[in-house]
A and B are shown apart, each in its own frame.
Chain A
């Protein structure tokens, strides 16, 4: 087997993607990646041993001993050695529109990925690759997470060229599908399995962008070597925006922080109340040298410090993930680039977007910011961290105006903020009060009456009021609307989420009705999309049925692909 090495020397505009028959070896820098990965994997396994080690022996005192050096040395050389072995056992080639990868030491694995099955091309720039101009290419298929393939270290120019070619192949595939289906005098053809190539979707893709381009407001081009010339930058996020995102997405600490002055009083009140009921906290905590209230205070101080640290972590995490955020568009693809140390690039075909979600929590509402998500199909069981997930393209903490513009960019003419949302029935409040809240409230109420304790009695009333209030807020927000093109859902309690999706992308429709709802001619509707399901309860029965029929008609008559 002839093996060659791709180096940066073939960087430039005329990078050849095809590597021919010969199996390629990665750039030397990949050893670093493999070592880091192996260390990370073994560290995850070893993390459970640390407490045992710490208890079993005084680790700190032994840290200076020769044994420790030998242990550390062995660990490091093992990691480097395994990195080297992984490097030598990894070969790949790009040949005849297929990416082929051979990996594994004891268990050899051969992956063959045709270009047209590749759904996402993600280019990552780990910080130790960046000075040398290398990148990691993650090829994502529509199937399970296991089918993901990584080309670990190739020159950035090669990564870009490969991505371009894969995307071009997708387009070609789509075009031929369009041709063949128009010859058959039939609209788009949906395949039985996800293994199929792209499909025709007449109203999105290039045509949509063409007609949109004129109407779009002028957007500033990002000066940066990472953005390709044929890309239009749609959105960038400043550090300020990202800090706001970090704060608004970790809100617990604010409440706890604001309540800090009242902790002492609160503890006093709770303890008095419990003592009144015959419970002595002192007895529970035990006869210790520290008074129980001091103990409690320490706990709260520690909690506060943890919360503050978490807030900082949240801001830091947001900066790490979203630093230098750009969302750009290249023909029918959206590309997100961001990251402080490890730059990450996620690209998503416009036609794959199942749903737009504009989320605004209470703090976002005060700051007039919106988190916008473009949701792609989610593979069940694949729990990728939300922010990093290639299945959800997030635009963090945009202004309300930007949210409207971006959502209309992805789904032309969609109106998230509309005034014709059909609210759900008030019986929703009654239903949930009876089904979920009545038992605990009644139990408390009866205990209060029987034991003639006024506070328990009042507590049950308070719970009833709080429950009703939350349900009322939920009822007030929840609504659905449909225009000729999209279905919209509004929901939330204090914050508010707006969802928008195209009806032809629906996978399944479910109409639910309880005996109680039937009596009042109400019904719930659930739409199952590839990105998840959306439910709107307690709508008028005739509306639900008409909507279900009409959505099914849209799916079955247009026969457009959901991908």
Chain B
């Protein structure tokens, strides 16, 4: 659609063995399975803790809970359980669909359950790269790769749930890229 002047010297071959030039033919790889496990664990724990806190408040012997709150207990439990269940179900299905791909010239990520989103970040436009690791990530040996461009904080490109070695490899690949490492 735009200039084809430099077609001869330009290449953007996928890093896998297959020959895949277009975005919708990307060789997408899933992120680590541990990412989903962690998220499911977090959902369950938070839900159980909240239900537990409610139950403790209802059945503790130290002070009297107003009758209205007593009566609201089953409904509150139902709401928390429903939200927790929805949250759990979402991660159960959506986390499997977080995929990424690295090509010579760009990094891509596909995510979303109902609204699928494929973002593509040309490495040429990368300003800096970060690995983000929370306590759970560190415990599971995972990392999130954050790629910053001039597009602003709102559009930070992030691949979550990468194995730490893999994340480091991609980070190094981006840093070693001639367009980023130049000057």
A binds B: yes
How many pairs of A and B residues are in contact by the CB < 8 Å rule?
Answer: 137
What 1/0 mask marks residues of chain B from 9 to 33 whose CB sits below 8 Å from any chain A CB? Answer: 0101000000001111000000000
Question: Knowing that A192-B127, A530-B152 are A-B contacts, what are 9 other residue pairs whose CB atoms are under 8 Å apart, sorted by A's residue number?
Answer: A507-B121, A510-B120, A511-B120, A515-B114, A545-B23, A549-B22, A552-B120, A556-B105, A558-B3
State whether the Cβ of B82 lies closer than 8 Å to any Cβ in chain A.
no
Within 8 A of A (CB), among B108-152: 112, 114-122, 124-128, 149-152
Residues of chain B in range 136-183 having any CB-CB distance to chain A below 8 Å: 149-155, 157, 179-183
Asked if B122 and A555 make an inter-chain contact with CB atoms under 8 angstroms apart, the answer reads: yes
Q: A552 and B155: CB pair below 8 A?
A: no
Q: Chain A, 167-187, contact with B by CB distance < 8 Å: what is the 0/1 string?
A: 000000000000000000001
Q: Contacts A484-B3, A548-B23 given; indicate if A380 touches B152 (C-beta within 8 A).
A: yes
| In contact, B116 and A518 (Cβ under 8 angstroms) | yes
A556 to B150, CA, bound (A): 16
The distance from the CB of A22 to the nearest CB of chain B, in whole angstroms, is: 33
A509 → B minimal CB distance (Å):
5
Q: What are the residues of chain A within 8 A of B126 when measuring CB–CB?
A: 192
Chain B CB within 8 A of A427 CB: no
Contact indicator per residue, chain A 552-563, by CB within 8 Å of chain B (1) or not (0)? 111111110010
Q: Which residues of B contact A529 (CB under 8 A)?
A: 151
Docked pose: A195 CA to B106 CA in angstroms: 22
The complex places the Cα of A191 from the Cα of B127 at a distance, in Å, of 8
* A377 on interface, CB distance cutoff 8 Å: yes
Closest-by-CB residue of B relative to A486 is B2
- The one of B119, B124, B128 in contact with A556, judged by C-beta atoms closer than 8 angstroms, is B124
Q: Is the CB of A508 within 8 A of B10?
A: no
Q: Is B6 an interface residue (CB 8 A)?
A: yes
Q: How large is the interface on B (under 10, 10 to 19, 20 to 34, 35 or more residues)?
A: 35 or more
Interface check B1, CB cutoff 8 A: yes
Q: What are the residues of chain A within 8 A of B149 when measuring CB–CB?
A: 507-508, 528
CB distance from B125 to the nearest CB of A (A): 5
Residues in A whose Cβ lies below 8 Å from that of B181: 192
Residues 514-563 of A at the B interface (beta carbon under 8 Å): 514-515, 518, 528-530, 532-533, 545-559, 562
B7 at the A/B interface (Cβ < 8 Å)?
A: yes
Q: Which residue of B lies closest to A547 (CB)?
A: B1
B183 x A510 contact (CB < 8 A): no
Check A562–B1 contact: CB distance below 8 A.
no
User: Shortest distance in angstroms between B62's beta carbon and chain A's nearest beta carbon?
Assistant: 42
Q: Please state if B127 and A194 are interface contacts (CB–CB under 8 Å).
A: yes
B124 to A, closest residue via Cβ: A190
Q: How far apart are B19's CB and chain A's nearest CB, in angstroms?
A: 15
Indicate whether A482 reaches chain B with its CB closer than 8 angstroms. Answer: yes
- Closest chain B CB from A383 CB (angstroms): 13
Neighbouring B residues of A515 by C-beta, 8 Å: 114, 116
